[in-house]
Structure 1
Amino acid sequence: MEDRMPHHDDFTGPTAPRRTLGIGRLLGGALVGLVLISGLIGALLLARPALDVAPGPVPGAPEAAEGH
Protein backbone atom coordinates (compact mmCIF):
# COMPACT_ATOMS: atom_id res chain seq x y z
CA MET A 1 0.00 0.00 0.00
CA GLU A 2 1.38 3.31 -1.06
CA ASP A 3 1.02 6.23 1.33
CA ARG A 4 0.32 9.27 -0.82
CA MET A 5 1.16 12.57 0.81
CA PRO A 6 -0.37 15.71 -0.68
CA HIS A 7 2.10 17.78 -2.60
CA HIS A 8 2.03 21.49 -3.17
CA ASP A 9 0.74 20.96 -6.71
CA ASP A 10 -2.26 18.97 -5.46
CA PHE A 11 -3.54 21.79 -3.24
CA THR A 12 -5.83 24.17 -5.12
CA GLY A 13 -6.91 26.28 -2.16
CA PRO A 14 -10.37 27.11 -0.87
CA THR A 15 -11.40 28.86 -4.09
CA ALA A 16 -11.57 27.50 -7.58
CA PRO A 17 -9.43 29.16 -10.21
CA ARG A 18 -11.19 31.92 -12.14
CA ARG A 19 -12.27 31.16 -15.66
CA THR A 20 -12.74 33.81 -18.29
CA LEU A 21 -16.30 34.40 -19.43
CA GLY A 22 -17.12 33.79 -23.05
CA ILE A 23 -19.05 36.21 -25.23
CA GLY A 24 -22.16 34.04 -25.02
CA ARG A 25 -22.11 34.07 -21.22
CA LEU A 26 -21.66 37.86 -21.18
CA LEU A 27 -24.50 38.42 -23.64
CA GLY A 28 -26.74 36.05 -21.68
CA GLY A 29 -26.09 37.90 -18.44
CA ALA A 30 -26.76 41.23 -20.12
CA LEU A 31 -30.01 39.90 -21.55
CA VAL A 32 -31.19 38.62 -18.18
CA GLY A 33 -30.37 41.98 -16.58
CA LEU A 34 -32.21 43.84 -19.34
CA VAL A 35 -35.31 41.64 -18.93
CA LEU A 36 -35.35 42.18 -15.15
CA ILE A 37 -34.97 45.94 -15.42
CA SER A 38 -37.61 46.24 -18.15
CA GLY A 39 -39.99 44.11 -16.05
CA LEU A 40 -39.57 46.41 -13.06
CA ILE A 41 -40.10 49.51 -15.20
CA GLY A 42 -43.18 47.95 -16.80
CA ALA A 43 -44.63 47.06 -13.42
CA LEU A 44 -44.14 50.63 -12.22
CA LEU A 45 -45.78 52.06 -15.34
CA LEU A 46 -48.77 49.74 -14.99
CA ALA A 47 -49.15 50.46 -11.26
CA ARG A 48 -48.82 54.24 -11.61
CA PRO A 49 -52.54 54.92 -12.27
CA ALA A 50 -53.45 52.92 -9.18
CA LEU A 51 -51.05 54.95 -7.08
CA ASP A 52 -52.48 58.33 -8.15
CA VAL A 53 -54.54 59.93 -5.40
CA ALA A 54 -57.41 61.97 -6.82
CA PRO A 55 -59.87 63.74 -4.53
CA GLY A 56 -63.36 62.50 -5.21
CA PRO A 57 -66.77 62.44 -3.63
CA VAL A 58 -67.06 60.78 -0.27
CA PRO A 59 -68.45 57.30 -0.86
CA GLY A 60 -71.59 56.39 1.00
CA ALA A 61 -72.83 59.97 1.54
CA PRO A 62 -76.57 60.08 0.82
CA GLU A 63 -77.81 62.80 -1.52
CA ALA A 64 -80.35 63.97 1.08
CA ALA A 65 -77.53 64.86 3.45
CA GLU A 66 -76.08 67.21 0.83
CA GLY A 67 -79.38 69.16 0.58
CA HIS A 68 -80.46 68.03 -2.90
Structure 2
Amino acid sequence: MAISLFLFSTVAYSKTYECYRYVDGKPTGTWIKVKADSKSEATSKAYQRYDELGVKVDSVNCKYAAG
Protein backbone atom coordinates (compact mmCIF):
# COMPACT_ATOMS: atom_id res chain seq x y z
CA MET A 1 0.00 0.00 0.00
CA ALA A 2 2.76 2.45 0.92
CA ILE A 3 4.60 1.70 -2.31
CA SER A 4 1.56 2.40 -4.47
CA LEU A 5 0.93 5.62 -2.56
CA PHE A 6 4.54 6.68 -3.10
CA LEU A 7 4.39 5.92 -6.83
CA PHE A 8 1.15 7.84 -7.20
CA SER A 9 2.55 10.87 -5.41
CA THR A 10 5.64 11.04 -7.63
CA VAL A 11 3.60 10.72 -10.82
CA ALA A 12 1.15 13.35 -9.64
CA TYR A 13 3.88 16.00 -9.64
CA SER A 14 5.17 15.21 -13.14
CA LYS A 15 4.20 17.64 -15.87
CA THR A 16 3.60 16.95 -19.54
CA TYR A 17 5.92 18.64 -22.01
CA GLU A 18 5.73 18.82 -25.81
CA CYS A 19 9.19 18.53 -27.31
CA TYR A 20 10.28 19.37 -30.83
CA ARG A 21 13.48 18.25 -32.51
CA TYR A 22 15.61 20.55 -34.60
CA VAL A 23 17.97 19.66 -37.43
CA ASP A 24 20.13 22.38 -39.01
CA GLY A 25 18.35 24.97 -36.85
CA LYS A 26 14.87 24.12 -38.17
CA PRO A 27 12.04 22.22 -36.47
CA THR A 28 11.80 18.79 -38.05
CA GLY A 29 9.06 16.18 -37.85
CA THR A 30 6.35 16.20 -35.22
CA TRP A 31 6.52 16.80 -31.48
CA ILE A 32 6.57 14.12 -28.82
CA LYS A 33 5.11 14.25 -25.32
CA VAL A 34 7.18 13.40 -22.27
CA LYS A 35 6.39 13.48 -18.55
CA ALA A 36 8.99 15.17 -16.38
CA ASP A 37 9.43 17.24 -13.23
CA SER A 38 11.38 20.01 -15.00
CA LYS A 39 12.12 21.38 -18.45
CA SER A 40 15.71 20.10 -18.31
CA GLU A 41 14.49 16.59 -17.44
CA ALA A 42 11.97 16.78 -20.29
CA THR A 43 14.73 17.75 -22.71
CA SER A 44 16.87 14.84 -21.56
CA LYS A 45 13.98 12.39 -21.94
CA ALA A 46 13.19 13.76 -25.40
CA TYR A 47 16.79 13.21 -26.54
CA GLN A 48 16.53 9.62 -25.29
CA ARG A 49 13.22 9.04 -27.09
CA TYR A 50 14.49 10.48 -30.37
CA ASP A 51 17.59 8.30 -30.05
CA GLU A 52 15.37 5.23 -29.55
CA LEU A 53 13.37 6.24 -32.63
CA GLY A 54 16.61 6.46 -34.62
CA VAL A 55 16.01 9.95 -35.98
CA LYS A 56 18.56 12.71 -36.43
CA VAL A 57 18.43 15.51 -33.88
CA ASP A 58 20.75 18.48 -33.37
CA SER A 59 18.77 20.07 -30.54
CA VAL A 60 15.49 19.75 -28.66
CA ASN A 61 13.07 22.40 -27.40
CA CYS A 62 10.43 21.44 -24.84
CA LYS A 63 7.51 23.51 -23.63
CA TYR A 64 5.01 22.85 -20.87
CA ALA A 65 1.75 21.46 -22.22
CA ALA A 66 -1.10 22.62 -20.01
CA GLY A 67 -3.76 20.03 -19.29
Tell me the TM-score normalized by structure 2.
0.32
Structure with bigger strand share is 2
Tell me the TM-score normalized by structure 1.
0.31
Q: Which has the higher contact order (CA 8 A, sep 6+)?
A: 2
- Whichever of the two has the greater Rg, that structure is 1
Structure with bigger helix share is 1
